[in-house]
Amino acid sequence: MLDSVAAAAAPPVPDRSAAAGLARRLAARTATVAVVGLGHVGLPLALAAAKAGFRTVGLDSDPARLARLSAGDSPLRHVPAEALERALRDGSFRPGGEDDLSRADAVLICVPTPLGPDRRPDLSCVEAAAAQAARRLRPGQLVVLESTTWPGTTRERLLPLLESTGLRCGRDVFLAYSPEREDPGNAEFGTADIPKLVAGADAASLRVALMLYGAVVRRAVPVADLETAEAAKLAENVFRAVNIALANELKLAFGAMGIDPWAVTEAAATKPFGYMPFWPGPGPGGHCIPVDPHYLAWRARERGVETRLLDLACAINDEMPRHVLRRLGEALAARGRRGLAGRRVLVLGVGYKRNLADARESPGLRLMEMLEAAGAEAAYFDPLVPELPRLPEHPALAGRRGVPALSAGALRGFDAALIAADHDGVDYAALVSAVPLVVDTRNVCARLGLSGPNVVTA
């Protein structure tokens, strides 16, 4: 339900305006919503809009993904096939194509915003999706960008593109920014449960966007302007990046003192105020933490401001895979086996975090590449990722298949294993008993009570 604060955020629109017509369709749930990009953000959002009563159509640049969705096969582990099949059955959701954009009342853009080779923001997917929407733009439509980006993107990049059609924002069409807040695999907070920031390019755009999201999520939160909403999303992820870097730096410092950094964090987390636990690891992954800080840093540099703390945090997090390899090398040397060249190493977990199949910016994949660059033979095991996807940051690994199981036969001959992601349901005891050296970057062995001279943390 839309909060009273949100409902009062903008003045009433004239009865015969394009905004009023859109508002009536949104209020009656007769509006059609098109979601462009059916990945970890777009697909849950599309199904949430369908569940709220809107006719919803999904667009994606990957024909194979659209075919899977049409068959009721969810490509995402955290999106149950049952929810997809139900929406397909009752007609509230269907995969579609560009022609559907002209019939949509709201077009929600949920496409990737990666980094280019020089770590500059790459908005090519956003611009392509916005151009697609502009080609089919008609009066009475709302366009919303959900992708994380630098402050100013919506106003400076999308607004001119939409108005190049001759339609005027706030009068004929409406533009908003509402950053995604998905946490794949989090059973406590689904799409509809997470408060949604909403900003409009003008008062009319804000009002209709609040009506849409107020129907889809429990709480739609109005934000003063587009740039503030864009900056708020970056602030959320930069907060995590900096604190993960702090946890990783403390891991190095406490480790050098012979102190268990995970035990320190658990002890500190008992304080009910002034502390929030962040856990060390082999380096952050996914589409947020390794990427979004660079969007903010790039924009800040354009304005003549250096983000020194942020830059240092990124450098610390980037260093973590190298620390893991150094720890592996030291542990091998302590066992009389110097150097990584010629060693067979199993990387366990290429999803970037626990119980997730998403391998984007995965520290596990970085470790595989670095092992092979050092002359080692790298293999991987991940029950959620039987075959490595094609990722722009890891082109040489595409199509490689993982070890099928942690059986004694499959583990025979490995010199070491690196635990990069601590998925549930994995037989860690079999790993510890069969491999002469296990380097645990997630402390999962200690949590399970598995110890021995062959288990070290990193």
* Residues carrying an active site annotation: 288
* Cα three-residue angle 359-295-106, rounded to 5 degrees: 80
The answer to whether 382 and 421 are in contact (CB under 8 A) is: yes
Q: How far apart are CA 245 and CA 266, in angstroms?
A: 17
Measured between alpha carbons, how far is 427 from 257 in angstroms, rounded to an integer? 31
Strands 344-348 and 416-419: parallel
Listed residue (30, 27, 46) closest to 207, CA to CA? 27
Q: Distance between alpha carbon 278 and the CA centroid of its chain, in Å?
A: 18
Q: Are 56 and 90 in contact (CB under 8 A)?
A: no
Give the tokens for residue 156. Answer: 């400076």
| DSSP string for 331-375 | HHHHTT---STT-EEEEE--SSSTT----TT-HHHHHHHHHHHTT
The secondary structure of residue 13, as a DSSP letter, is P
Neighbours of 401 (CB within 10 A): 11
Q: How far is CA 412 from the centre of its chain?
A: 35
Which segments within 138-202 are labelled E, that is strand? Answer: 142-145, 174-177, 196-200
Distances (CA, A) of 121 to 116, 151, 424: 6, 12, 34
> What are the residues facing 344 on neighbouring strands?
377
- Could you give the CA distance from residue 46 to residue 34 in angstroms, rounded to a whole number? 8
Q: Compute the distance between CA of residue 340 and CA of residue 432 in angstroms, rounded to an integer.
A: 20
Residue 8 contacts by C-beta under 8 Å, 6 or more apart in sequence? none
> How does strand 438-440 pair with strand 455-457?
parallel
